[in-house]
Structure 1
Amino acid sequence: MKLQNFIKAGLKTQISLLALFSKRKAGNKAFNIFCTPFGKTTYAATAVLQSAEALQMTCNGMLLRGYRWNKGAPEKLLIAHGFRSHTQRFEHLIPHLIERNYEIVAFDAPAHGLSAGKRINAIDYTKAISLITSRYGPFDVYVAHSFGGLAVVLSVVAEQAQNENKKIVLFAPATNAQTLATTFLKAMAITDPSTQKHFYNNVTRLSNGKNLDWFSIERCLPDLRSPVLWIQDQSDQIIPAAEALTISDLRYPNIEFLFTEDLGHSGIYRDAAVLNKVYAFLDS
């Protein structure tokens, strides 16, 4: 049995046993697991990272670590990684972005990479993006993957009503937090309505009354006027293509979709042909 399957089986057992005594505690435990990036990885300082200015800031009492390249360039760009990822996985973009004369900023999200913390949710990541923007922006371009894509869109729409002059590249963005939660609850075999209710109560408590559907890219689209390049692989097992296809059918004029095959969730931001499309979008 793979280690991740062993951990998953153990956590399922914990929740089911806890539910025998308290549905509230079981729901809270499930929510904490949902927000925990198990297998958090650190990384060595590569030549690209060593060439950057080291940055740090505090968000919700947690120290976040980041990088800045090409300070003082005429346009600023922010990179936002996904769940269980970190900045170093996007360092191959840096030389190409410097060639295009961007000032580039990237941070490890809370509970990821070299940043502090044990858990993250859409509220925390969106707040982090907003704080990074207020301190090191404003940004002309955002490049985001997966969970980072959801946080970027939520932040831009909430904080920047006049966003038509931004450019956003979304690699397989998490389109809807509700879908993530539904998938998680199914995977953890949490079917009891009372346990699910207490799971969702954490969202309304932390977000001042909002439900998970509020944390949705589709909800934001009428207020998102930025040119967007949305890249989605049709074989992605982490973020299925169905929601991207549905949004594509809405034909928002500011969103260009690029659907790929057999690149998966992470290969999508490493493929040379895809990246050439990204650079052409940025150059346009």
Structure 2
Amino acid sequence: MQTDIQSPPEVAVEPFPTLIDRSETSKQPRKSKKPGFGILVFLALNRLASSTSTGWGSKRLQKIFETPQRHSIPQKEQQWLKSAKQDWFDHEGHRAAVYTFGQGHKKALLVHGLSGRAGQLSAFADPLLEEGYQVIALDLPAHGNAPGKRISMPAIARLLAAFQKSYGDIDTLIAHSNGAAATTLALSFGMQIEKVIYLAPPEDLKGYLYRLSKLIGFNAKVTRHAEAQLATRYGLPFDAVRGSTLSKNYKLPALIFHDLKDKMVPFEEGERLAKSWQDAVFVRTGGLGHNRILQEPEVIAISREFLRRNSS
């Protein structure tokens, strides 16, 4: 007698939330302070350079565009970094600091943003270790404890691609802000990653250059000249590094978070990137801004679930 074998019922998978709203608990915006003497001199020099010489203004803008601001490293982050195995990675005359935690069978790479540092992503470390990952965090050149004063986004992208080839299989890459933009470009250079998690990712380097230029006092003529000079040095026109263009070719899973009122990177950039990525989950946040998003427990919990659902 033949009996039919019943297949087990399919278990519905809960969709990821589309919004994390912390608006009610977010800090009230600080009252804007009048710029100090140093800032006023800086802005005056930029305006003078713009009006006096396009070449001088362009050279000055390019230097500002590629020079990160260093910030002091909080004690808590310093203690976290001291617990790591520390090393260096050199590429094209630039040096990155490498911090390795744990002995997991899979690797997760943490990449900070412009003027950031490895410790800003430390809240992800313990959850990753618990999921069986070895965690690798970088201080990119000219950031954190790494030497250097000046670095371009394409140079960071090339370094990331070379780092992956040197360190072998990397399952997951978690990147913040400009680190995400550099990762998107590095993937076009052949970097092999199984999945990515982006927090506040920019996708329009040209847009950032023009916003920065206007904010700090350069005119449009100087900005156009700087754009042309940078594109020549990079060997890439700015339109060729648009994240929303590059990501159309990527099939790896992506989880993208962006705050609705991010003052550093417009929300629309993260939204455009997610729409162009073939396999992306996009989660909006409210009240977390550009940096608090890195510490939000629900962001980390959703990231953890994303890794579980996309584990190989």
Alignment TM-score, normalising by the size of structure 2: 0.82
**Residues 6 and 245 of structure 1: CA distance in aligned 2, closer, same or farther (over 3 Å):** farther
After superposition, give the CA deviation of every residue in 1:87-128 in whole Å (9 maximum; x if it has no partner).
112222211111111121111011100001112221121122
How far apart are the structure 1 equivalents of 2:46 and 2:299? 41
Secondary structure of 1:11's counterpart equals helix
Structure 1 residue 143 displacement after superposition: 0.3
Whether contact under 8 Å (1:122, 1:215) holds in the other structure is no
Which of 283, 296, 304 matches 1:258? 283
Which of 33, 40, 50 matches 1:9? 40
Whether contact under 8 Å (2:199, 2:257) holds in the other structure is yes
**Partner letter of residue 169 of structure 1?**
I
Match in the other structure for 2:14: none
Structure 1 residue 18 displacement after superposition: 2.7
**Residues 283 and 177 of structure 1: CA distance in aligned 2, closer, same or farther (over 3 Å):** same
Structure 1 residue 33 displacement after superposition: 0.8
How far apart are the structure 2 equivalents of 1:21 and 1:59? 37
How far apart are the structure 2 equivalents of 1:170 and 1:5? 34
Match in the other structure for 2:111: 80
Alignment TM-score, normalising by the size of structure 1: 0.89
Match in the other structure for 1:109: 140
**Residues 3 and 53 of structure 1: CA distance in aligned 2, closer, same or farther (over 3 Å):** farther
Query: Which runs of 5 or more residues in structure 1 are unaligned?
Result: none
How far apart are the structure 2 equivalents of 1:238 and 1:244? 12
Which of 264, 267, 270 matches 2:295? 270
Which of 23, 26, 29 matches 2:60? 29
Secondary structure of 2:251's counterpart equals coil
How far apart are the structure 2 equivalents of 1:23 and 1:216? 26
**Partner letter of residue 91 of structure 2?**
C
240-249 or 46-55, larger mean C-alpha shift: 240-249
Whether contact under 8 Å (1:171, 1:230) holds in the other structure is yes
The reply to whether residue 57 of structure 1 matches residue 89 of structure 2 is yes
Structure 1 residue 192 displacement after superposition: 4.1
The structure whose RCO (Cα within 8 Å, separation 6+) is larger is 2
**Partner letter of residue 66 of structure 2?**
C
Whether contact under 8 Å (2:110, 2:175) holds in the other structure is yes
5 Å-filtered alignment, 1:125-136, equals 125-136=156-167
The reply to whether residue 151 of structure 1 matches residue 182 of structure 2 is yes
Whether contact under 8 Å (1:234, 1:241) holds in the other structure is yes
Whether contact under 8 Å (1:28, 1:198) holds in the other structure is no
Which of 200, 204, 209 matches 2:231? 204
After superposition, give the CA deviation of every residue in 1:133-191 in whole Å (9 maximum; x if it has no partner).
1222331110000000011111123214xx6x711000011111011111111102322
Could you say what the CA RMSD is over the residues aligned between the two structures, in angstroms? 2.1
Match in the other structure for 1:221: 247
Identity over the aligned pairs, expressed in percent? 22
